[in-house]
Amino acid sequence: MKKSKYKLLLINVIDTRVVDDGNMFIPLHRLTSFQPLSLGIIAALTPDNWDVEIIDENFDEFKYTEADLVGLSSTSMCINRAYDIAKIYLSKNIPVAIGGVHATLFKEEVCKHCTSAIAGEAENVWPQLIEDFYNSSLKSIYEAGYADLSIPVSPRRDVFEKYDYEIATMEFTRGCPFNCSFCGVPIYSGHKLRYKPVSTIIEELKEIKQNYVIFKDDNLIGSSKAHKAKTVELFEQIIANNIKKDFLCFVSINIADDINVIKLARKAGFVLFFIGIETENLKAIRSIHKEINENPARKAYKETFKRLHKEKVAVTAAFICGFDTDTVEDIHDRAKFIMHSSLDTFTFTFLTPLPKTPLQLQLQEENRIIKNNYPEDWIYYNFCHLTYQVKNGDTKDMAQVIYHYLIKLHTAKMFRKKLLKSFFNTGSLRTTAATYVFNKHNHVFLKESKSLLLLQKTYDFLRKSGLIRQ
């Protein structure tokens, strides 16, 4: 008999062993404190006769909570935690659905540990899953595919009010047109950029209470004139609607090719770009097929950073170590480049053969994967372990050198120095404060930095008082 009210529990799964295995320093505080947007979309797709609650393990470690249906979202590195939670509910005959990146890539593995695995983007199948729940006929696998973002589902923001999210999460696009061999985005989200209507984004932004907003799109600018035109329209509408927020977005190095787009982005409130530099070494760039970083003009990273700083935009740059072309000396050079460059903040990680990427397939074919006892070994795919045999030199030696710089670079002193230098380079308290906010949630030592926290609080006070221009 159908009830008048049901309870849906949605869990953003974080395996704390991923960020603290007891043996290694891993420079992450949980994984992120950004709103889990996919759970907000699931909540929006759920009928009104359901009470929806989320548990975000970035804030709360899971404790058993009564529910009629449980939905878990997990990456590959956290999937074993998802299986453990699912087992608790299955033992009580409560159905469990698991979605997210890992379920999309390994539906056959996942469905062995839950009632239903959702492969793809849940917009296409969640209403049917709810109907099947009513009829006690849940399928073991739901093939969701790619959602039509031209008919978007806006997330329910009220379910996020349970936690103190300082940063709101948005998405304008899904997919990535590039073919970088190490990147999983084209594998689970497709090579074609799909867009939500700009009008939908503007309405969502009007509802967001937070000052800080991250666009989770893999590449907001894209790679073509058509892509750029879409993003320019977004910037123009943010300005036209007088939306006052501080934004972070992910872009590629080609953002520096058009100074007018940079100026427009800054006017719209985009104060921080996250750019995948990966390496300063051209041979390494070619080995991962990241052609967009090959242009000689784009190798002049220092000039690029200077150009962005002049427009009061900061840069967080991603660096990777462990390419087939890398030697121990290359790792030293990469670390020195980070230390002495004008970068505002950075990430420094191990090259990780993410599931089903060209990189992983190549390493499997060459029989070089050393962490291959799945699903248990997925936990090591956290960008802080070497999971394969390197080509140049000894694997243990290479891992020790990368790990040495992982510790040396990820310190409060280093990030404090970078951020204070950022204030000098950009001349903007707003940009520097926002850069701190967007980075502190991943690094516990930044959260504990009193001088940087004071900088942020000063900016927040001046902004709320109307004494500083947005």
- Residue 151 covered by a domain: no
Residue 414's alpha-carbon distances to 190, 399, 450, in angstroms, are 37, 22, 14
- The pLDDT of residue 224 is 84
> Reduced to 3 states, what is the DSSP secondary structure of residue 394?
coil
Nearest to 379 by CA among 39, 82, 111, 118: 82
Name the DSSP letter for residue 392: S
| CATH code for the domain in which residue 285 is found | 3.80.30.20
Q: With bands split at pLDDT 50, 70 and 90, how would you rate the model's confidence at 365?
A: very high
Number of domains the chain contains: 2
- For residue 117, the enclosing domain spans 6-145
> Is 152 part of any domain?
no
**Is 153 part of a structural domain of the chain?**
no
Q: Can you list the positions of beta strands (E) in 379-431?
A: none
Residue 407 within any structural domain of the chain = yes
Q: What is the pLDDT of residues 418-470, one digit of tens each?
A: 988 999 999 999 999 899 888 877 666 666 677 777 878 888 888 887 766 65
Task: Lowest mean pLDDT of 108-117, 367-376, 378-387, name the range.
Answer: 378-387
**74 and 170 co-located in one domain:** no
| Model pLDDT, residue 297 | 41
314 - beta bridge partners? 272
Instruction: Give the separation between CA 242 and CA 238, rounded to whole angstroms.
Output: 6
Q: What is the pTM of this model?
A: 0.92
297 and 364, same structural domain?
A: yes
> pLDDT at position 470, please?
54
The distance of Cα 100 from the centroid of its chain, to the nearest Å, equals: 13
Dist. CA 425–CA 185, nearest whole Å: 33
DSSP H helices, 118-224, are 126-134, 185-189, 198-207
> Do 172 and 128 lie in a common domain?
no
Q: Which of 111, 145, 179 is the last residue of a domain?
A: 145
User: pLDDT by residue (tens digit) across 312-362?
Assistant: 999 999 999 999 999 999 999 999 999 999 999 998 989 999 999 999 999
Tell whether 459 and 337 lie within a shared domain: yes
Separation of alpha carbons 465 and 380, rounded Å: 46
138 plus 191 within the same structural domain:
no
Mean pLDDT, rounded, for 349-376:
95
Q: What is the pLDDT of residue 298?
A: 47
Domain boundary among 145, 176, 197: 145
* Contact (CB, 8 A) for 37 and 54: no
Is the sign of the CA dihedral 381, 182, 26, 171 positive or negative?
Answer: negative
- Quick: pLDDT tens for 117-144: 999 999 999 999 999 999 999 999 999 9
Task: Give me Rg for the CA atoms of the chain.
Answer: 22
The answer to whether residues 102 and 245 belong to one domain is: no
Q: Which of 75, 100, 97 has its CA nearest to residue 86?
A: 97
Residues 423 and 290 occupy one common structural domain: yes
Contacts of 417 (CB under 8 A, 6+ apart): none
Query: Does one domain contain both 243 and 138?
Result: no
CATH code assigned at 127: 3.40.50
How many other C-beta atoms lie within 10 A of the C-beta of residue 323? Answer: 24
Q: Is there a domain that residue 159 lies in?
A: no
Q: Which helix (H) or strand (E) holds 236?
A: helix 225-240
**Which residues, other chains included, contact 197 with Cβ-Cβ below 8 Å and sequence gap of 6+?**
150, 152
Mean pLDDT lowest among 22-36, 104-118, 150-164, 196-210: 22-36
- Flag whether 158 is in a domain: no
- 285 within some domain: yes
Question: 284 to each of 256, 290, 319, 320, 468, how far by Cα in Å?
Answer: 21, 9, 11, 10, 43
Is there a single domain that holds both residue 351 and residue 301? yes
Q: Taking all residues of the chain, what is their mean pLDDT, rounded to a whole number?
A: 90
Q: Is residue 138 part of a domain?
A: yes
